Chain A
């Protein structure tokens, strides 16, 4: 007789006495096993993520130069941001970067995904080739490569010279430096492209067939079938790329030599945090800056989710 049947035979409310039934023991040991297998992740979450975040939250209310004891200063660090010109400069740079590069990257990725979805021969090769920049895109090597492309004697200027145009050093010009980094970000379209491609493959072919029977053009099918059914994927990519772009750091660090120059034109917010923490040793202020960034990302993400009900179509 199984433990379950024995339990059924027991009168309601009667106390459980005697040794644990084998099934309950089994569940308990399964629970222990689950916890044991989860423990590395849990330990990592607590020690590597949660604890440093809490420490950072505390430090954001202190004056802390790393070597001495933190001194509690209340909201001083947050008030300091209001009058900090470089804080506002970094906010402007980062906002422009996110506002321009994320939509551009998503449009570019979607276009390429649509092309690749047409059943090209050697699709996997194209897919890998287009994904490659995403693997290298934020690495030091590509940032150095970018310097060679947009430098004074770089490839872009050599190409312009062929048509009689003398280019500038795009990375040393405050008006163009950020745009080269935006191009770099757009170039790393591989990750959203692969996700778009997967989303396109999920759209039922019958819908297109029915539309064709009704005489719908390619554009109408794209507008009334592809786009609506792809909106969850667009939304997913939008969230990921927005958060990632707010955290952009490596490109600007390498290309500007860590300064955010010229004239703070590539001073990304994360670069400013880095400068405060590791160059100025102002860890309290850097922590406050980091928390403001976290809150900004949280608010923008929440806004995305709120607005998503107006344009994301889940088909239910």
Chain B
């Protein structure tokens, strides 16, 4: 046997370590690599979504080998953590989904590559008005890939079983009275789940009163009175027993798993029906629009777009490939046939029409309600400004204080607005310093 000297041992170990380090660097890859196989796509969701998207991307790669994606997937919170560290390291994926509260934060930090120069991106299916809806601060730098609207989801099986008359439309007071009566007459069902933390319905409430969630100038777009009225409407329902208790529904954000099969109505986003309906297959679910205030201002309807973007530091070659990925994810019905509509109605109007014949009953309900809001006149809406990314957490805490009696509605609303404003001010001062 050949003798291995200590010197040789160390040299060998050093070489192995160096090779390992180099291999590791190569494996991780940079955000701006030129090779097609380095095109990275980051998104969030559950395991089912991951498997479906992977299957769809495999399908895409069959048609174009250059579009083989390296998928970076995580649950929503973990996704944001990873994005944070990747941003700090300048190593963001070429294509990434944008968490709703971070849209303008990422924008203000230059994370998006303008899409105007991406020649491969095909926008021929969109009207000018559609494109206008996509712009952020006048720039086309993100690509929506779905549409959500605020809705009341209701259990159509309960409606039939209990002989309830579910109207085409109603105002908020009428709905509240209906929910109270339904609960009173039902033995083990509630009229509605407590959902004062539901962001899109809250935004709908504000817009019907001539207010906004966020202003064009990047500030809070509503008054303390507007916020108080929303919380008070829900408190009235909760105190009347028309909703489960906070304990029964496991927090101010109701747990669908815990009480979804015992609530007639549920305020939420239109897309949630797709996943949630699968949890209770014995029931049929349907969607209707939010109640409408009699004095609601015109254009109160709005669309929320989940967005994806190309990283600003992506190479030109990868940006062009990313444009083709956008075409597939938003403009090819084959993609949606695999992944379904968990991320909302198709943003591409042509694809929305093509998909109708493949839609499940829940998806059909969603497509109809989104289509109606899409056809309505809509006043502009604005995204959450930098520094406001925690607003939903702050709102949850505000509602916890109200529902536990720690604060009055007025005190809690004032504190919530102050805390959100502090975050926006801090981000603004940081930008000025930078």
Chain B residue, CB-CB nearest to A63: B430
CB-CB < 8 A to A261: which residues of B? 251, 396-397, 400
The smallest C-beta distance from A230 to any residue of chain B, in angstroms, reads 42
- B430 engages A68 (CB within 8 Å): yes
Return A41 CB to nearest CB of chain B, in Å.
13
Task: Decide: A169 and B250 in contact? CB cutoff 8 A.
Answer: yes
Asked if B10 and A36 make an inter-chain contact with CB atoms under 8 angstroms apart, the answer reads yes
Complex CA distance for A165 and B414, rounded to whole angstroms: 38
Contact of B87 among A67, A153, A257, A280 (CB under 8 A): A67
B3 within 8 A of A: no
Q: State the main secondary structure of chain A at its contact with B.
A: loop
Interface string of B399-434 (1 = CB under 8 A from A): 011001010000000000000000100110111011
Interface residue A151 (Cβ < 8 Å from any Cβ of B): yes
Among candidates B6, B80, B110, B406, residue contacting A263 with C-beta atoms closer than 8 Å: B406
- Name the distance in Å between A283's Cβ and chain B's nearest Cβ: 8
Q: Are A282 and B426 in contact (CB under 8 A)?
A: yes
B397 near A280: Cβ-Cβ < 8 Å:
no
Task: Tell me whether B109 is interfacial, beta carbon within 8 Å.
Answer: yes
B interface, over-half SS: helix
Contact indicator B10/A172 (Cβ below 8 Å): no
Contacts A71-B433, A262-B400, A263-B401 given; indicate if A281 touches B247 (C-beta within 8 A): no
- B404 partner residues in chain A, CB cutoff 8 A: 173-174, 262-263
- Indicate if the CB atoms of B6 and A278 lie closer than 8 Å: no
Contacts known (A29-B6, A263-B401, A263-B406); A258 close to B77, Cβ less than 8 A: yes
Q: Out of B110, B251, B400, B430, name the residue touching A65 (CB < 8 Å).
A: B430
CB of A68 within 8 A of CB of B434, answer yes
B258: which A residues are within 8 A, CB to CB? 151-153
Contact indicator A172/B88 (Cβ below 8 Å): no
B400 touches which one: A153, A174, A280, A282 (CB < 8 A)?
A174
B87 touches A66 (CB 8 A): yes
CB distance A151 to B250 under 8 Å?
Answer: yes
Q: Are B80 and A169 interface neighbours, CB within 8 A?
A: no
Instruction: Determine if A281 and B389 form an interchain contact, defined as CB atoms under 8 angstroms apart.
Output: yes
Inter-chain contacts of B247 with A (CB < 8 A):
152, 168-169, 172-173
Q: How distant is B260 from chain A, measured CB to nearest CB, in Å?
A: 14
A211 to B127, CA, bound (A): 94
CB <8 Å contact, B423 and A280 = yes
B250 with A278: CB separation less than 8 A:
no
Chain B residues positioned under 8 Å from A63 (CB to CB) = 429-430, 433
A33 at the interface (CB under 8 A from B): yes
Given contacts A68-B430, A153-B258, A263-B400, contact A278 B80 (CB under 8 A): yes
> Are B434 and A281 neighbours in the complex by a CB distance under 8 Å?
no
B residues 47-95 near A (Cβ < 8 Å) are 77, 80-81, 84, 87-88
Contacts of B251 in A (CB 8 A): 172, 257, 261-262
A279 in contact with B109 (CB, 8 Å):
no
**C-alpha spacing A283/B88, complex, angstroms:** 10
Interface assignment of A275: CB less than 8 Å from any CB of chain B: yes
Which residues of A are found within 8 Å of B186, using beta-carbon distances?
A: none
Question: How many A residues have CB within 8 A of the partner chain?
Answer: 34
Contact bitstring B94-118, A, C-beta under 8 A = 1, else 0? 0000000000010001110000000
A67-B87, A67-B111, A68-B434 as given contacts; A259 in contact with B397, CB under 8 Å: yes
A289: min CB distance to chain B, Å: 15
Query: Is there a chain A Cβ closer than 8 Å to B124's Cβ?
Result: no
Contact flags (1/0) for A163-197 with B, using CB distance below 8 Å? 00000110111100000000000000000000000
Which chain A residues lie closer than 8 Å to B84 at the CB level? 66, 277-278, 281
Interface string of B103-143 (1 = CB under 8 A from A): 00100011100000000000000000000000000000000
A263 partner residues in chain B, CB cutoff 8 A: 397, 400-401, 404, 406
List chain B residues, Cβ under 8 A from A259.
393, 396-397
> Which A residues, 253 to 268, have Cβ-Cβ distances below 8 Å to chain B?
257-259, 261-264
Q: Which residue of B lies closest to A175 (CB)?
A: B404
Residues of chain B lying within 8 A (CB to CB) of residue A173: 247, 404
Contact call B400/A152, Cβ cutoff below 8 A: no
A69 within 8 A of B: yes
Decide yes or no whether B390 CB sits under 8 A from chain A.
yes
B102 to chain A: closest CB distance in Å?
Answer: 9
Nearest B-chain residue to A36, judged by Cβ = B10
Specify the chain B residue showing the minimal Cβ separation from A30. Answer: B6
Check if B246 is an interface residue, CB within 8 A of chain A: yes
Asked whether A172 and B250 contact (CB < 8 A) given A68-B430, A275-B390, A278-B81, the answer is yes
B396 contacts A279, C-beta separation under 8 Å: no
Note all chain B residues with C-beta closer than 8 A to A262: 251, 400, 404
Q: List 11 A-B contacts (CB under 8 A).
A: A66-B84, A68-B431, A152-B250, A169-B246, A174-B406, A258-B77, A261-B396, A263-B400, A278-B84, A280-B389, A280-B390
* B residues in contact (CB < 8 Å) with A: 6, 10, 13, 77, 80-81, 84, 87-88, 105, 109-111, 246-248, 250-251, 258, 389-390, 393, 396-397, 400-401, 404, 406, 423, 426-427, 429-431, 433-434
Q: Which are the 4 A-B pairs with shortest beta-carbon distances? A: A169-B247, A67-B109, A68-B434, A262-B400
Taking A262-B404, A277-B84 as known contacts, 4 extra A-B pairs with beta carbons closer than 8 A to each other, sorted by chain A number, are A36-B13, A67-B88, A258-B393, A278-B81
